[in-house]
Structure 1
Amino acid sequence: MRRDRAIPLTAVVLLAATALTGCERGSSAGPGESTAGPSGCPAAQTRAEAAVKRAERTDVPWSGPTGGPTATRGKTIAYVAQTMTNPGVAGVAQGVREAARVMGWKVRVIDGGGTPVGIQAALSEAIALEPSGIVIGGFDPRATSRQVARANAADIPVIGWHAVGSPGPSKRPELFTNITTEVEEVAGASADWVIARSDGHARVVVFTDDSIPFARNKAQLIRKGLARCRGVRLLAYANIPIPDAGSRTPQEVSSLLSRFPTAWDYSIAINDLYFADAAPALRAAGKRGTGPPFNIGAGDGDPSAFQRVNSGQYQAATVPEPLSQQGWQVIDEFNRAFSGRAPSGYVAPVHIVTAANSGGATSWNPPGYRRAYREIWGK
């Protein structure tokens, strides 16, 4: 089934209504989704190899803010999580807690449980606490528009993490800023890695969650990136809601292995957690942990993903978010908001981690950010 055809209005309405949910049970597009060609893509491959080499560097100096307001006092932050079972959401929450301790601020984490009702209730609870600021952690604020409007009306600054598709301030919904890497760069890096590693000849499955607009957009950008190489074939587009990944991914992987027993040699997932759930099915089918299929996660780079990459267990690479740094950035952006300043405008550069450049680490911690933020805050 092609997903790039026009969608009827009723379908658009249904998608909008389920933007936060895992109620879309998942689907897998078949071999009709193809950008195949027998001759590879020499020009695209050369460009991809250069991009991957840049993204794999680990010695990039801190390029974030070096100036800003000193620390304000006595603040309380409410972190509303889409679900704390999402490793990216949880990783940023930990960074927020760590940075808040440096500032002497308090943090309350409220778990939405991954459902629309739970997330709306969590955000309502956060507003009732009358915090100094609220973090929207990994969900679409347009699906909680009433609660966001209440926070705006109460003059509570709202900062998003992966809340809307682009970094920076947002008017609709009203966010002081949204913190994320550039989704185009993350999606492009994962596609480039596949093109470069396969010498322009790959047969790929993409795992995504179309119920989350941010994830759906990332998956479409991944498809566009793969399409730059005519030697790459998109075998399937597996749509599995993140809250259902534990139960749905093993079934989907088994089905894909049955359909493509020898053809499937690469995978890209919008979140590393799919490969944690894919591993048992791949292992049961006799697949080696070092591939194929060679798997790369286009986010979020949680510790378990690093462990799989480092040990060669059904994941070859990840394009991680610097989760802890982004948690510190959340606190810095709030401090700017409380001080009447503009957002910093910082966007972390894209990075690719493999066993060859991870140094055995279990997270991507770009150098220099803790010291830089402490110097800004006078801490």
Structure 2
Amino acid sequence: MPANRRSAQGVAVLLVAAAVLTGCERGASTGGAPSPTRTATAGCPAALARAEAAVRQAERTDPGRGVPASGPRAVPGKSLVFVAQTMTNPGVAGVAQGLREAAKATGWNVRVIDGQGTPAGIQAAFSEAIALRPSGIVIAGFDPLLTSPQVARATAEHIPLIGWHAVAAPGPSEDPELFTNVTTEVEDVARISADWVIAHSHGDAGVVVFTDASIPFARNKSDLIKKELATCAGARILAEENIPLSDTSSRTPQEVSALLSRFPEEWTHSVAINDVYFADAAPALRAARRKGAAAPFNIGAGDGDPSAFQRINSGQFQAATVPEALSEQGWQIVDEFNRAFSGEPPSGYVAPVHIATAANSGGLTTWDPPGYRETYRKVWGG
């Protein structure tokens, strides 16, 4: 099974509870009659200029803003347990690899326990982690509400918890109690993906947005994307396709075929809350004899797993992604634990957003910013 499919399926299993709690309608799409024919007069000069500047900054391979250059020296003799949503999720696996690499620089021990993508598996993995009595536990890629008893027990036993994509926002969390949560800002990711559409289209686009409205985080991201697109009058939203992540493989091809029939010329760009939609859109676009490097031009607003980079680098129905710096985030988790062990507050660092395209990826299948390894080693005294 392709990595991107396993990732989406693993995430979807864990988010069924969110769908039940929110009561969102599964799979409803919006969009009225086809928009008027695109014209050269459409546009938004001010929004376009701002979007182009933001995109130029985000496409830099040297972000210009690195990880914190000061902090406590490494506390010796610590151990971490990384509780993974599922190690078949490329994002989770990438962070785990970065964590292991960083732990070698501090001399710490790391153990990874795979939750195997199910609530029962994650709860069992978390319980096993606590039984090991580590110095700290990483909540990697799942909602801590799914493991409330384990979170409460770890807190009672004074085991620091750090999340990766565990809650919606970066930084400390009181409920659930996390020393910090490592992730990019969803507002930044949403804004830059919409800005890329505005800039790439020169302010004249017919856009389809792919989301999963059963997940509050994903629905918020797509709402933010639409809000940013609305700053440009020439970026018209043709439709919003509500396809649950668990249904992308079965639903996306037929929805894409329907969109091609409704908007044969108007549909120029797409934004999705996860790259997996474009893996599943590709067969329908190919069947319609669309060229991989032609319209609709697609950008994923999040993740940036290896399969997304492969599609981008080969010009196959995805033009860009807003990837997480997975290895860097693994190093950041170690640095945050070191601050917790030293009695210091979290760093407050949030990685800047990046846009990966075939022009700046260097043929690689991950986003790995320069300089952070050397900076952290210096901070830790290595």
Q: Give TM-score, length-normalised by structure 1.
A: 0.87
Residue by residue over 1:239-263, the C-alpha shift from the partner in whole angstroms, topping out at 9 and shown as x without a partner, is 3333443444334333433443333
RMSD between aligned alpha carbons?
2.7
The amino acid of 2:30's aligned partner reads G
Gapped regions of structure 2 (runs ≥ 5) = 1-14
| Matching residue's letter, 1:328 | W
Matched, 1:46 2:46: no
Candidates 325, 349, 353, aligned match of 2:352: 349
* Structure 1 range deviating more: 295-304 or 229-238: 229-238
> Cα distance, 1:122 vs. partner?
3.0
SS of the equivalent of 1:354 reads coil
**Which segment is superposed worse, 67-76 or 284-293?**
67-76
Secondary structure, aligned partner of 2:352: coil
Q: Structure 1 residues 274 and 89 mapped into 2: Cα distance closer, same or farther (>3 Å)?
A: farther
Aligned position for 1:10:
none
1:336-367 CA deviation, whole Å, 9 max, x = no partner?
11121111111111111111222222221111
Structure 1: distance between partners of 2:82 and 2:240: 32
Instruction: For residue 180 of structure 1, report the CA deviation from its aligned partner.
Output: 1.2
TM-score (norm 2): 0.86
Deviation sequence 1:212-231 (CA, Å, 0-9, x none): 43323222211111111222
Structure 2 contact 210–272 (Cα < 8 Å) conserved: yes
Partners of 1:17 and 1:358 in 2: how far apart? 36
How far has the Cα of 1:322 moved from its partner?
0.9
CA contact (8 A) 1:62 1:367 kept: no
Matched, 1:217 2:223: no
Give the share of equivalent positions with the same residue, in percent.
69
The residue matched to 1:253 in structure 2 has which SS? helix
Deviation by residue 1:131-170 (Cα, 9 ceiling, x = unmatched) = 2211121222234333222221111111111222221111
- 5+ residue gaps, structure 1: 1-14
Quote the residue 1:9 is aligned against: none
- What is residue 325 of structure 2 aligned with on the other side? 322
Moved more, 363-372 or 145-154: 145-154
Q: Which range moves more in the overlay, 349-358 or 250-259?
A: 250-259
2:78 is equivalent to residue 114 of structure 1:
no
Residues in 2 aligned to 1:327 and 1:35: alpha-carbon distance in whole angstroms:
45
Q: Match of 2:293?
A: 290
Contact 1:20–1:115, Cα closer than 8 Å, also in 2:
no
CA contact (8 A) 2:136 2:159 kept: yes
> How far apart in 2 are the matches of 1:58 and 1:203?
29
Contact 1:80 1:123 in 2 (8 A): yes
CA change 1:50–1:292 in 2 (3 A) is same
Q: Within 2, Cα distance between the matches of 1:99 and 1:54?
A: 28
State the AA in 1 paired with 2:168.
G
For 2:195 and 2:245, the matched residues in 1 are separated by: 24
d(CA) in 1 for partners of 2:308 and 2:298?
A: 11
Which moved further from structure 2: 29-38 or 316-325? Answer: 29-38
Q: 2: CA distance between counterparts of 1:138 and 1:289?
A: 31
Counterpart in the other structure of 1:27: 27
Residue in 2 aligned with 1:6? none
**3-state DSSP of counterpart to 2:284:** helix
- Alignment partners' CA distance in 2, 1:336 and 1:33: 55
